[in-house]
Structure 1
Amino acid sequence: MSITGFWNIYFGPEADPTFYQNLHVVTTFIWLGLLLTQLIYIESRRNSLHRRLGKSIFIVGPILIATLVLLSVHSASKSAARGEADMLVIQNMFPALEVAILILLGFLFRKNRMLHGHFLMSTSLLFFGIALFFTLISFIPGYKIEGPETFYRFETAGITATYISVAFGLLLFFAQIKSGWPWLLVCLLFFVNGYIGQLIEEADKMVSLTAFIGSINEYAAFLVTLLIVFAVLTLSFLKRKTTTI
């Protein structure tokens, strides 16, 4: 789904990938590749390799979140420069924060193998929902944007992507009800994001929110986010280690 979501950026009729898009592709696939590799290690019972590779979260996690924040600020700044609302400002900023929370929770619950796995794997559902949205508007008739008169399809595609993603999340939750509640949490986040976006639109504050986020310095946003996430992960690790000792 990520491949089809990114397809038009690289292979579409007007393909012209930017530095930001290249960075997003690289960090996204590194994260998904890390999850896949860890699953392979667990399946083959190579637990020592799994634990050693897991330490890469101190590097991959902060870079992933910082990149998502950078992309959110960059997207908002482009719309703000035109005096317009960024239609994806909520879908950009909130998932960045939510992925960070899920990674932190997965890290904190690393001693509980089932919860640890569910928290980290559930981050993929957020990426899936976004990738499905872009796949719908890029390839599926009835969702493709073909001019100003079809802009309403953005909302239709977003709703459809949300329901499909939630359906997958519920299936994974019911597969392991006792420990699979992180999937249920992510399902709830889809609706929370949609509700917050609706409230902001009803209050006619989307342009103001876009202008505020777009006014943030991109590189400062990246660096500060990188340092904060790294510091939080490090402090959580040290505190948990001290408590264990």
Structure 2
Amino acid sequence: MRIKRNNINSAFLLIVILVSIAGFWNIYFGLDSNPTFYQNLHVLTTFIWLGLLLIQLVYIELGKYSSHRKLGKSIFVVGPILIATLVLLSVHSASKSAARGEADMLVIQNIFPAIEVAMLIFLGFLFRKNRILHGHFLMSTSLLFFGIALFFTLISFVPEYKIEGPETFYRFETAGITATYISVAFGLVLFLNQWKSGWPWLLVCVLFFVNGYIGQIIEGADKMVSLTEFIGSINEYAAFLVTLLIVLAVLILSFLKRKTTTN
């Protein structure tokens, strides 16, 4: 039964990777492709994280638990860099829109998943002694990446969602809603397949709707430009460094505290 569940998780991870490739495709192979340093860093860290999750599943399926534990220590490096990069990208995107006096259409999609990925990684680390729950928390981060990648895939390749001018900007919202529902459907399948311990998947499903609701509140209050200006006013490199140090410190302190408690 455990092997079957791992196979399902592995299959979903492969889907996430393929959809991510599609989502990033135009950045590198589109007509006006000109990837920036920020995009290159984001792509690199995203695929390193997804690849790390996939390798860990393979180790578990092969019974290589010692290799699994050794590779798991890379979370002290990969985790902080991944989250810091997500924050850096959020600030950079907001700063570009703020410079034009516009709202960043992706500000909610950028900043909240960054915080939520950090939360899931921290919870996965906190519950590392519970191997099953630990795995669900870390694996469920892939659902957030799937939702974002699917959004960009839709607006890049599906005619009904492509942005072709100001009159079609509403398609951003339509693509976001569609990506959310598809992501939640996948999340529910993964939760139901392992419902006794798979509630982290359900948590991520709820987060999709929470993000959407918060976005509606901010937009309804006409505060999207203000939020963009606030996030865009943060120094990019300070945001990256501070986030990196905070996440690293939290992981190390949690590790030391748990080790002290165990001893």
Which bin holds the TM-score, normalised by the shorter protein? over 0.9
Give distance in 2, aligned partners of 1:75 and 1:10: 18
Question: Which residue in the other structure is 1:3 paired with?
Answer: 21
Establish whether residue 189 from structure 1 lines up as the match of residue 207 from structure 2.
yes
Q: CA deviation at 1:47?
A: 0.3
Question: Which residue in the other structure is 2:141 paired with?
Answer: 123
Give distance in 1, aligned partners of 2:140 and 2:125: 13
Q: In structure 2, give the amino acid aligned to 1:112.
A: N
Structure 2: gaps (5+ residues): 1-18
Establish whether residue 48 from structure 1 lines up as the match of residue 66 from structure 2.
yes
Q: CA deviation at 1:240?
A: 0.5
Question: Which residue in the other structure is 2:95 paired with?
Answer: 77
Question: Which residue in the other structure is 1:209 paired with?
Answer: 227
Question: Which residue in the other structure is 2:110 paired with?
Answer: 92
Give distance in 2, aligned partners of 1:235 and 1:148: 49
Establish whether residue 167 from structure 1 lines up as the match of residue 167 from structure 2.
no
- Cα deviations by residue, 1:96-152 (Å, 9 ceiling, x for unpaired): 000000000000111111100100000000000000000000000201111111110
Question: Which residue in the other structure is 2:10 paired with?
Answer: none
Q: Secondary structure of 1:137's partner?
A: helix
- Cα deviations by residue, 1:11-53 (Å, 9 ceiling, x for unpaired): 0010000000000000000000100010010000000000000
What's the TM-score once normalised by structure 2's chain length? 0.93
Give distance in 2, aligned partners of 1:202 and 1:165: 25
Q: In structure 1, give the amino acid aligned to 2:145.
A: F
Establish whether residue 21 from structure 1 lines up as the match of residue 43 from structure 2.
no
1:152 to 170, 180, 184: 170
What's the TM-score once normalised by structure 1's chain length? 1.00
Give distance in 1, aligned partners of 2:135 and 2:114: 19
Q: In structure 2, give the amino acid aligned to 1:35.
A: L
Q: In percent, how many aligned pairs have the same letter?
A: 86
Give distance in 1, aligned partners of 2:252 and 2:160: 47
Q: CA deviation at 1:68?
A: 0.1
Moved over 2 A (4+): none
Question: Which residue in the other structure is 2:50 paired with?
Answer: 32
- Cα deviations by residue, 1:181-207 (Å, 9 ceiling, x for unpaired): 000000000000000000000000000
Q: In structure 2, give the amino acid aligned to 1:130.
A: I
Question: Which residue in the other structure is 2:132 paired with?
Answer: 114
Give distance in 1, aligned partners of 2:80 and 2:92: 18
Structure 1: gaps (5+ residues): none
Give distance in 1, aligned partners of 2:159 and 2:240: 37
